[in-house]
Amino acid sequence: MAFHLLDRDRRGGETLVTALENALKAIGHCERCRMLAESALCQICDTAGRDHALMCVVESPADVVAVEDSGSYRGRYFVLMGRLSPLDGIGPDELGLDLFEEQIAGAEIREIILATSATVEGEATAGYLAALAKNHEVAVTRIAHGVPLGGELEYVDSNTLSRAISTRRALDAD
């Protein structure tokens, strides 16, 4: 890309520079959910039509985009910008948990959906957040882990399959 811009498209390069400069200057973090935002509140927190009593906790802005793309969620988010990773020295102070605790202490939140990753650190984060929420009147749920749609069992890795079986759910026949 560097060669292309320098040899053939210097104007394009300038456009890119301006765009990056603007992005770096204008984009900060939403003061409510810590998502990347151009104003004090991000678009999602600023939308009246969403269910603000439902809070989905994710690790990164990319996760917010992934959940939004699924089209199935109409609540708000809380972006940790990381996960508990004791070996890297990343603890509650690095994850904005003051803000998290402040918000779950308020009356507005009804349910917290823990959508941290399915890694050991992601599980540790979810467990810790659930412990923090215990003292408040708020339901805590964890996203399900299991067999991908269209997936055949013989090709699913054993850890995922064992989780899918241990967290199976009752099926109601209509």
Partner 1 sequence: MSERRNVDSEPAFILHARNYRETSQLLEAFTHNHGRIGLVAKGARRSKSPFRGALRLFQPLSISWSGRGDLATLRIAECSTSANNLVGTALMAGFYVNELILTLLHRSDPHRDLFAHYTALLAGLADAADNVEVVLRRFEMALLSEIGYGLCLDRDSVHHAELSPSQRYEYRVERGPVPVDATSGSDMVFTGVELLAIGRGDFAEQETLSSAKRLLRNVLEHHLGGRPLKTRKVFASMKRRI
Contact 73, 56 (CB under 8 A): yes
Q: In angstroms, what is the minimal distance from the CB of 39 to partner 1?
A: 30
Using CB under 8 A as the binding rule, whether residue 91 contacts partner 1 is answered as: yes
89-104: buried (b, 16+ CB within 10 Å) or exposed (e) per residue? ebebeebbbeebeebb
Using CB under 8 A as the binding rule, whether residue 164 contacts partner 1 is answered as: no
Which residues are CB-contacts of 68 (< 8 A; sequence separation ≥ 6)? 44
How many C-beta atoms surround the C-beta of residue 44 within 10 A?
Answer: 19
Instruction: Pick out residues in 23-42 that bind partner 1 (CB under 8 A).
Output: none
Residue number with CB closer to partner 1 (28 or 151)? 151
Size of the site for partner 1 (CB under 8 A): 25
Out of 1, 71, 72, 89, name the contact with partner 1 by CB under 8 A: 89
Mark the segment that binds partner 1 (CB under 8 A) among 33-41, 52-60, 64-72, 89-97.
89-97
CA angle 30, 87, 145 (to 5 degrees): 65
User: Cα(first)–Cα(last) distance of the chain, in Å?
Assistant: 57
Binding site for partner 1 (CB under 8 A): 84, 86-93, 97, 101, 119-121, 123-124, 127-128, 131-132, 157-160, 162
